[in-house]
Structures are given as C-alpha cells and as structure tokens.
C-alpha cells in the first residue's frame, strides 16, 4: 500500500522543521505552504481561516483570512496564577482575546496571524509554557482527572501525567529552533528512538482517570489509564487501548470505539514501560496508507487484543496482570466550592463551551485575571471545558469568593441549568476547516430552546449529558453522550441517544440529518416517554438505550 502524502511530509521534515522558516518569511500570504501546514501541527498549531469571511474576502480579491490556532501542552491541565496572567495578556495582544479551554484540559488561542506566531510562542516560553506536540501524529496533551478533592492521590497522578508527557515528547529541538531562534546545540542529538523520523500514523491521546469519577472520559482515548487505589494508596493502573470517536460520514469502515481494558500494571515504572510500547507497536503496525484507518483503534481491531498484550509484554519486559476491578459512578465536574482532605478549597467555574471571555452572562475573563493577580490559587482545567480555581487556603477563600460574586461568575455557575452545565460542543464554525454544521456558536441558544422542554417534563434536576459536534470527528465527544448531535450539513445533525451517564457505552443513531425544529419535537417526545416510563433512578441514557433495544 502506498503511504499517504502526510507520511512523506513527516519523513522529509528534517526533524519537524519542514520549510517553516521560509513559509514564515513568505510575504505574499498569511498561510504557510501545504506541507508546512502539516508540519506546524506538531508544533501545536493549526492553520485555519475565518470561514464566515471567505466570500467577502474573495470578492475583495483578498486571500482567505488565515490565522493560526495555538494549543498549549498542559499535562493534567494545570497553570500557575503567573501563567494565567501571561496567557491573559498574550490572548489580548495576539489572538481573538478569548481563551478557550479545550475538551482535553488544555488552553488554546485562536486568530493568531502569521506574523504574530513568534511573539506569541516567545511570550508563552517566557511563562514556561510550550505548545510542542499538542496536535499532529504524535502523543498529544495527557489528560488526567481534574478535581483535587477526588482523591488524596490526585497530586501523584498529575505528576505522573507530567512524566508520561515528558517521556513521549519528540526529541527534535525544532520548536525552540524555529519559534525562539535558538542556536543549534552542537552536542545535542535529535535521534528519536520512539518516533524515529516517521512519528505515529495518526494522532494519539492518553487520559488518566481516578475512579469513581470518569470526568476525563478516559475510554475515549487511544490509551486509557485507570488508577487503581486501595486504602488510599495508588497500586498501579488498569490499561485500556483503542478508544477514539472519529468517524467519517458515508464511510462504513470508520467507527467510534471505546478503549478495551487489557490488564493491570503495578507501580509507575511498569506502567510507563507499557505505555511507551503501546506507542511503538502503533508506530510499527498502524496503517500509514489510509489516514481514516490509522488510529490505534483500527490497529487493535486488526491485530487483536491478545497480540497487543503479548507484544507489550515482550517489548517492555513486564507482566500484564489481569485487570483489577474498578467502577465509575459519575462523569462530571463538581461546581462551586469543594474542600479536599488537606483542607484546601477549590471552586469549579462553569465556563460555557470553555470560552473564557467577558460576556452578558459573566465577566469570567476579568474575574479569573483578578483572582490570578491575587496569586493565592492554582488554575486547573477540566475535560468538560470548565476552570477550577484550586488550592485556595481558608484565609483567601472569602476574597476570591467576592471577586467571583462581583463579576457574575458565581451566579452564572450556580444558576445555569443542569442540561447547560453538562453539555459540551466542539469549536466548529467559523475557524474549524472540518465543520459541516455549527456547534460552539450554536449550542448556547439551542440549549435555551431545550430548557423549557426539560422544564415541561419536570426533569430540571437530571444531569443529562448532551454534546454537539460540527462534524463526525468527535472533538466534542458526541457519541459518548446521553444525547449527541453530529453535524451532517449546515443546520442538520444526526441525533444519537443511549450513551450511558458514566462514559462506558456509546450512543446510537436515532434520527438522521434533521434540523432544529425536528430535533426539538423529538426531544419533547423522548423526554415525555422518559418521564412516564423510566425505572427508578434510571438515567436518560439508560432509558433511551433500553428503548432502542426494544424496537
């Protein structure tokens, strides 16, 4: 099979340098060359354009309004107040101003034009932040359960996320070389035993969950680690492989898949080894000719779980033990103030669609900025796109609370409906080149239309998980929701139902290619049936699943 064109670009990229320097100095365009648009992903950036403005710009004989999205590498989603302040200023100076919390616990800025990339990355670097390998065919940001109060081992797990991230970084200094004008280090070898010169066949995502909360949606990752805790001690991790939600409309060879638990590794070292070798197996066996068949999930289904188990044991020189029992009972953020066992306080802010900005709901951006200026907390981001003001000592709690109150953050967090707080959307229009339908821009007003239907059926207290994505690639994890919408064309969605509350069962297609009016009618019908026919304590997802199976 002929390798896909991207394979050639990777191999010829001279350690992910490509011709980025030439592309940067090309005066004529705000874009980079086609090959560099692939290479720049490995530096944590996507070349995008404002899709709303295409026709208008074309009429003006101007090229598309190109800009770049920069995504930070934040294993576990942690930031110091100084780093938040730096990000706040960088966003204002070089991007659209909105700080976007992603569905994988990191931050990204949109609308950075080509000449602003270097100043942006230099400013991030000065704040000890980077964007290395946050996009592209490589291990991306490592996600880990967010809330410090979940467990005393929280800090241990987060340190571990950092270690994994560091272990799986590419060895090339290209990021420093290109964006910081770093002099080439003579004695430094860029030989990369893990990625070699071909990197992975496709993106690779790792998540770590601390049961019983599955807030990271751990099974949707290529590689999932589930912390196994006994007597408040971390014993090791169950390893699951082959998660991934992307699919392509009309291509039955593509499908979403949750990760399969393949065993348990005791202790950190063995787990590290196993993780590393899952990547090398995927590197060696993954499909490099068809990018729509290249994710680990297809490799796992092609080679079988047993092959993977044996190969991991052989390559890592470890023993994969039988998986330990674990149970997820929820998949959500704990909004408002929570206290952890060490006595520190944590406030989870509801950030609608993860867009930190000042709007009519709340001056969230200003509030977080002023709280950061106080310097008495840490910032954590969740896989549900919310922000946690973490590690607040009792004596600082009141001051932070009054800022949250003053800027309307508290009332928005407390008063937003359950359905709104448990919903999520990907970016989609106007910047995502893959979007077929609206998501992030549309979800808030869509939820406003769903809320009265929920109220009509008296379901306001139900924490139903509703998600929307503008295309079938799955950034908003719609197929892992109780109610999922997947964009098919502008204004049209596939409606999916029957996913479970905890993220262990994917939903199924219910109605194909329908618009808002039909969606609302359908929701009204479903909520009515749920209200009248649910079993005690049955979630909407489980009810819908039961209903789908009985048809």
Partner 1 sequence: MLAPAKLDALHNFIETSTKEELLWISGYLAGLATDGTAGVVGSVNESALKQQTITVVYGTETGNSKKVATMAASKLKQHGIKTKLLAAENFKPEQLYKESNLVISVSTQGEGEPPANAKGLYDFLHATQQSLSHLRYSVLALGSRSYPLFCQAGVDIDSQLRRLHATPLLPIAMCDDDFEPVAEAWITALLSTIQPTANTQQETVAQSKKADGKKSFVASLGVNQMLNDRGSNKEVHHLEFDLAEELLYNPGNAVGIVPENTAENVNRILALLKLHPQDRVNYKGETYEAFVLLQKKLSILHLASGVIKKYADFLQTEIPETRMDLYDLLRIYPMQNESQAQALIDILNPISPRLYTISSSPNAHPGQLHLTAALHTFESVGEQRNGFASSFLTQLKPGQQLEMFLHQQKTFQIPRSDRHLVMIAQGTGISPFRSFMAERDAIGATGHNWLFFGEEDFVADFYYQSEIQNWFETGSLHYVNLAFEKNRNQSLQVHELILKEATRLWQWIETGAYIFVSGEKEPMGKEVENALQQIIMEKKGVNSEDAGAFLKQLAKDGRYAKELY
Nearer to partner 1, 65 or 74 (CB): 65
State which residue, 118 or 163, has the beta carbon closest to partner 1: 118
Q: Minimal distance in Å, beta carbon 291 to partner 1?
A: 8
Question: Between the CA of residue 287 and those of 110, 283, 293, 295, what are the distances in Å?
Answer: 31, 9, 6, 8
Q: Which of 10, 114, 173, 205 is catalytic?
A: 205
Q: Smaller CB distance to partner 1: residue 27 or 306?
A: 27
- Our finding on whether 309 is near partner 1 (CB under 8 A) is no
Cα gap 120→52, rounded to integer Å: 25
Q: Please name which of 365, 213, 338, 198 lies closest in space to residue 282, comparing C-alpha atoms.
A: 198
Q: In this structure, what is the dihedral angle of CA atoms 296, 37, 106, 356, given to the nearest 10 degrees?
A: -140
Catalytic residue from among 41, 332, 421, 471: 471
Q: Which of 278, 318, 372, 436 binds partner 1 (CB under 8 A)?
A: 436
> Should residue 8 be labelled a site residue for partner 1 when binding is judged by CB under 8 A?
no
Does 203 participate in catalysis according to the annotation? yes
Least distance between partner 1 and beta carbon 109 (Å):
17
Counting residues that bind partner 1 (by CB under 8 A) gives: 34
User: Phi, psi at residue 73, to the nearest 5°?
Assistant: -95, 105
- DSSP letters, 40-80, are GGGGTEEEEE-GGGHHHHHHTT----EEEEEE---GGGEE-
Cα separation of the two ends of the chain: 42
Q: Is 548 in the site for partner 1 (CB under 8 A)?
A: no
d(CA 466, CA 499): 10
Query: Which residues, at least 6 apart from 385, have a Cβ–Cβ distance to it below 8 Å?
Result: 101, 102, 103, 351, 353, 354, 424
Minimum CB separation from partner 1 for residue 113, in Å? 6
Q: Is 489 in the site for partner 1 (CB under 8 A)?
A: yes
249 is a contact residue toward partner 1 (CB under 8 A): yes
Catalytic one among 41, 140, 257, 355? 140
Is residue 135 part of the annotated active site? The answer reads no
> Which of 324, 381, 325 shows the shortest CA–CA distance to 351?
381
Strand ranges in 136-222 using DSSP code E only, listed in sequence order:
139-144, 204-209
Query: Over the range 75-84, which residues count as b (16 or more CB within 10 Å of their CB) and which as e?
Result: bbbbbbbebb
Q: Among residues 9, 24, 266, 520, which is the contact residue for partner 1, using CB under 8 A? A: 24
Nearer to partner 1, 236 or 244 (CB): 244
- Do the beta carbons of residue 530 and residue 540 sit within 8 Å? yes
Q: Looking at beta carbons only, is 2 or 395 nearer to partner 1?
A: 2
The reply to whether 71 belongs to the active site is yes
Of residues 76 and 474, the one with the C-beta less far from partner 1? 474
- Residue 459 touches partner 1, criterion: CB under 8 A: no
Whether 535 and 522 have beta carbons less than 8 Å apart is answered as no
Catalytic position from the list 173, 331, 432, 501: 432
Alpha helical stretches, state H, 304-376: 305-316, 364-374
| CA distances (Å), origin 86, targets 93, 126, 262, 423 | 11, 9, 42, 29
Q: Which of 208, 49, 224, 100 is nearest to 144 (CA)?
A: 208
- Contact between 250 and partner 1 (CB under 8 A)? yes
Whether 331 is catalytic = no
Instruction: Write down the least CB distance from residue 358 to partner 1, Å.
Output: 21
CB of 116 to partner 1, least distance (A): 8
Window contacting partner 1 (CB under 8 A); options: 53-61, 201-209, 227-235, 256-264 = 53-61
471 is catalytic: yes
- Closest approach, Cβ 9 to partner 1, in A, equals 13
Active site residues per annotation: 71, 140, 203, 205, 426, 432, 471, 475
Residues that bind partner 1 (CB under 8 A): 2, 4-5, 24-25, 27-30, 34, 54-63, 65, 113, 115-116, 118, 248-251, 254, 292, 433, 436, 489
């Amino acid at each position: 099979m002929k390798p896909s064109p991207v394979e050639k670009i990777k191999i010829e990229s001279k350690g992910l340098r490509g011709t980025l320097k030439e592309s940067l100095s090309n005066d004529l365009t705000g874009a980079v060359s086609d090959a560099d648009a692939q290479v720049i992903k490995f530096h944590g950036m996507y070349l995008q354009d404002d899709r709303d403005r295409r026709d208008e710009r074309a009429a003006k004989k101007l090229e598309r309004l190109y800009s770049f999205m920069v995504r930070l590498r934040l294993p576990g989603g942690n930031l110091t107040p100084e780093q938040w302040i730096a990000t706040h200023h960088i966003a204002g100076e070089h991007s659209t101003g909105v700080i976007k919390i992603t569905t994988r616990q990191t931050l990204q800025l949109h609308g950075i034009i080509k000449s602003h990339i270097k100043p942006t990355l230099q400013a991030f670097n000065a704040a000890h932040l980077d964007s290395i390998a946050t996009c592209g065919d490589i291990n991306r940001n490592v996600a880990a359960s967010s809330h410090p109060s979940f467990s005393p081992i929280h800090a241990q797990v987060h340190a571990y996320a950092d270690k994994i991230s560091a272990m799986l970084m590419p060895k090339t200094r290209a990021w420093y070389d290109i964006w910081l004008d770093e002099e080439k280090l003579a004695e430094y070898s860029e030989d990369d035993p893990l990625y070699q010169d071909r990197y992975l066949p496709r993106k690779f995502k790792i998540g770590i969950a601390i049961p019983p909360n599955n807030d990271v949606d751990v099974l949707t990752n290529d590689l999932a680690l589930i912390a196994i805790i006994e007597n408040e001690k971390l014993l090791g991790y169950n390893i699951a492989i082959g998660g991934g939600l992307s699919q392509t409309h009309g291509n039955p060879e593509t499908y979403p898949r949750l990760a399969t638990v393949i065993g348990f590794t005791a202790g950190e070292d063995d787990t590290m080894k196993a993780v590393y070798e899952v990547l090398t197996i995927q590197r060696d066996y993954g499909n490099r000719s068809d990018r729509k068949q290249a994710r680990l999930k297809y490799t796992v289904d092609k080679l079988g779980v047993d092959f993977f188990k044996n190969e991991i044991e052989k390559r890592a020189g470890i023993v994969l033990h039988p998986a330990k029992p674990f149970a997820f009972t929820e998949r959500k953020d704990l909004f408002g103030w929570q206290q952890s066992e060490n006595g520190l306080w944590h406030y989870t802010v509801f950030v609608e669609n993860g867009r930190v900005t000042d709007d009519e709901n709340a001056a969230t951006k200003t509030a977080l900025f002023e709280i950061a200026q106080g310097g008495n907390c840490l910032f954590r981001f969740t896989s549900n796109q919310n922000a946690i003001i973490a590690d607040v000592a009792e004596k600082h709690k009141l001051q932070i609370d009054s800022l949250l109150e003053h800027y309307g953050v508290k009332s928005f967090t407390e008063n937003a409906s359950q359905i709104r707080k448990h919903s999520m959307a990907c970016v989609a229009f106007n910047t995502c080149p893959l979007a077929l339908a609206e998501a992030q821009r549309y979800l808030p007003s869509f939820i406003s239309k769903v809320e009265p239907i929920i109220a009509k059926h008296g379901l306001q207290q139900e924490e139903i998980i509703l998600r929307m994505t503008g295309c079938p690639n799955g950034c908003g994890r719609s197929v892992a929701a109780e109610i999922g919408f997947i964009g098919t064309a502008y204004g049209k969605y596939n409606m999916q139902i029957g996913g479970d509350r905890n993220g262990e069962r994917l939903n199924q297609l219910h109605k194909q290619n329908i618009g808002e009016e039909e969606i609302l009618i359908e929701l009204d019908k479903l909520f009515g049936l749920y209200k009248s026919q649910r079993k005690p304590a049955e979630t909407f997802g489980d009810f819908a699943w039961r209903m789908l199976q009985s048809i």
